[in-house]
């Protein structure tokens, strides 16, 4: 390199060279220019060296100031002077503030055409969106900590306090759902507008639980048939048009089975009659009878009809407080089971004796871990029965599903232990807490009768499922017979009852 080139390299670069200096480059020296002069006595060769510089790759890195605010794309290695697209998708609850190079905003557009001139790190900056809090104070209490109709940022922690000094309880409803009780309420602002309703009561038994000796009254479920004609007529008007398989018309589909397949023929609707945010009545309507076997086709003769519940009629049931028996109590906790049989459900709608894939894994039909009845208890039942405060009293329980839990010496069908909120008793638990046949007898509610539970007037009691598999057959499950004895039958039976159990923390 001559002195001029060396001086330039040491003391100054052009703008182009400054940009290229932060990217990968290649330099090529060539000696390819050759001139030949012919004469009688001499040949002259002239060689020229040419230095060329070719730009290659510049690295564009992208970062976010709030990681969960959205997704960004466009990062990579690009040739110098390339035009690339930077883009972002913004999640709900966030705002896009712009693309930044250090503290300098490049653009506030979510989609940006960007010319690559050097290796660079570009930051996508987001902020939290704001949502409105509306407060309805239905008390004479003074509140502080938030102002009605003000906007608050998503994820803000907000505490609203009352000046309650009485023995009454302050109730906090969020969007008409009871969320808490107490003199103050702390919450994290969601990514939507919310309505907070404040009420006061002198008793919280209905929203937590009541206790009377060895009985717990906890949660609500449809139970007793409504017989008042005037009330039934009013409820029918509220419910509106009846459902069918192509249009539910505000009703819900039970998704019960015909011939192992979910079919649309039985429906329900829940009514908040007194507009207090909780359901008071459930309507039941069906166009076909529920078969006694979930693997069977349509039938004209089921226990629904025998229980005097007929097709194409609407039946209404009141949401009543569930009475639970305390089976065991220790150290501020209690194991409880519903005193009545609350529903009628199949264990699983199949009769195969081989293992097969269902509910996310492979097992036998009588596998409690994979059963439909377990899903029903911990999803449908759990969410319909308990408000959010009551759910906080329920202790998630690791259930013993070992050989010992089946009361058998051998059993090839035992499943993994399960972690559940609501569950069925095992054989060993039923025997431990109900030592005699008479103690194991149980009656069904009107609502369970409407679902097609098997009724036997000679005993005035009903059948109810246990969670333990029977060792003799891959689709047989232990249950309690109408006379209180232990028995077993096929998992696909729809006419056996459900007596939920759970552990709760006592106040």
* Model confidence pLDDT, tens digit, residues 347-393: 999 999 899 999 999 999 999 999 999 999 999 999 999 999 999 99
Mean pLDDT over 422-437 rounds to 98
If one compares 414 and 302, the residue with the highest pLDDT of the two is: 414
Looking at residue 206, what is its pLDDT? 82
Does 274 score more than 60 pLDDT? yes
Does 9 score more than 70 pLDDT? no
Taking only the tens place, the pLDDT of each residue in 58-86 is 999 999 999 999 999 999 999 999 999 99
3-state secondary structure of 440: helix
* Verdict on whether the full-model pTM lies above 0.75: yes
Of 22-31, 371-380, 455-464, highest mean pLDDT: 371-380
CA distance 280 to 148: 30
- What H or E segment, with its residue span, contains residue 169? strand 169-174
Looking at residue 153, what is its pLDDT? 98
CA distance 85 to 72: 11
* pLDDT band at residue 32 using 50, 70 and 90 as cut-offs: very low
Looking at residue 30, what is its pLDDT? 47
Does 26 score more than 60 pLDDT? no
Looking at residue 39, what is its pLDDT? 46
CA distance 374 to 424: 8
CB atoms < 10 A from the CB of 465, how many?
26
φ, ψ of residue 89 in degrees (nearest 5): -115, 130
Taking alpha carbons only, the member of 336, 318, 311 closest to residue 326 is 336
CA distance 5 to 232: 99
* pLDDT band at residue 46 using 50, 70 and 90 as cut-offs: low
Mean pLDDT over 17-40 rounds to 49
Q: Are 146 and 160 in contact (CB under 8 A)?
A: yes
Does 21 score more than 60 pLDDT? no
- HSE toward the beta carbon, residue 159, CA cutoff 13 A: 4
Taking alpha carbons only, the member of 466, 216, 436, 439 closest to residue 326 is 216
CA distance 183 to 261: 50
Looking at residue 54, what is its pLDDT? 57
Looking at residue 346, what is its pLDDT? 97
Lowest mean pLDDT among 4-18, 155-169, 433-447: 4-18
Taking alpha carbons only, the member of 214, 215, 218 closest to residue 395 is 218
Looking at residue 300, what is its pLDDT? 72
Looking at residue 31, what is its pLDDT? 46
Looking at residue 33, what is its pLDDT? 45
Q: What percent of the chain has pLDDT over 90?
A: 83
Looking at residue 287, what is its pLDDT? 96
Looking at residue 353, what is its pLDDT? 86
* pLDDT band at residue 1 using 50, 70 and 90 as cut-offs: very low
Q: Are 127 and 95 in contact (CB under 8 A)?
A: yes
């Amino acid at each position: 390199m001559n002195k001029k080139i060396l001086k330039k390299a040491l003391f100054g670069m052009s703008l182009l060279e400054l940009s290229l200096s932060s990217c990968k480059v290649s330099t090529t020296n060539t000696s390819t220019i050759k001139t030949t002069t012919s004469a009688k006595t001499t040949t002259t060769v002239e060689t020229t060296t040419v230095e060329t510089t070719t730009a290659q790759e510049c690295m564009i890195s992208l970062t976010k100031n709030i990681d969960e605010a959205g997704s960004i794309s466009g990062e990579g290695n690009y040739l110098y002077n390339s035009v690339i697209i930077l883009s972002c998708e913004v999640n709900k609850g966030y705002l896009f503030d712009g693309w930044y190079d250090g503290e300098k905003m490049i653009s506030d557009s979510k989609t940006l055409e960007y010319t690559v001139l050097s290796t660079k790190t570009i930051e996508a900056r987001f902020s939290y969106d704001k949502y409105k809090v509306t407060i309805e104070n239905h008390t004479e209490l003074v509140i502080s900590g938030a102002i009605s109709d003000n906007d608050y940022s998503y994820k803000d922690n907000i505490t609203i306090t009352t000046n309650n000094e009485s023995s009454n309880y302050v109730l906090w409803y969020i969007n008409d759902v009871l969320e808490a009780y107490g003199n103050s309420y702390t919450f994290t602002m969601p990514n939507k507008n919310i309505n907070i309703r404040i009420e006061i009561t002198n008793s919280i038994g209905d929203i937590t639980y009541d206790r009377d000796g060895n009985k717990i009254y906890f949660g609500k479920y449809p139970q007793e048939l409504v017989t008042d004609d005037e009330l039934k007529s009013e409820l029918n008007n509220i419910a509106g048009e009846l459902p069918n398989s192509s249009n539910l018309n505000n009703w819900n589909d039970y998704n019960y089975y015909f011939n192992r397949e979910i079919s649309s023929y039985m429906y329900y609707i829940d009514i908040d009659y007194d507009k207090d945010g909780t359901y008071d009545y459930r309507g039941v309507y069906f166009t076909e009878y529920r078969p006694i076997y979930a693997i069977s086709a349509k039938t004209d003769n089921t226990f629904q009809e025998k229980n005097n519940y007929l097709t194409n009629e609407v039946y209404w049931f009141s949401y009543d407080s569930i009475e639970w028996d305390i089976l065991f109590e220790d150290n501020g906790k209690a194991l409880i089971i519903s005193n009545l049989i609350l529903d009628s459900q199949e264990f699983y709608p199949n009769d195969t004796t081989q293992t097969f894939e269902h509910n996310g894994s492979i097992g036998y039909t009588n596998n409690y871990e994979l059963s439909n009845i377990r899903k029903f208890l911990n999803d449908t039942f759990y969410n319909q029965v308990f408000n959010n405060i009551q759910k906080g009293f329920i202790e998630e329980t690791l259930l013993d599903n070992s050989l010992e839990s089946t009361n058998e010496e051998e059993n090839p069908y035992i499943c993994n232990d399960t972690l559940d909120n609501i569950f069925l008793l095992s054989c060993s638990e039923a025997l431990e807490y109900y030592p005699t046949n008479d103690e194991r007898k149980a009656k069904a509610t009107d609502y369970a009768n409407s679902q097609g539970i098997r009724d036997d007037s000679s005993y005035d009691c009903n059948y109810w499922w246990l969670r333990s598999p029977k060792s003799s057959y891959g689709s047989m499950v232990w249950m309690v017979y109408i006379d209180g004895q232990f028995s077993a039958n096929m998992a696909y039976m729809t006419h056996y009852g459900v007596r939920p159990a759970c552990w709760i923390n006592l106040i």
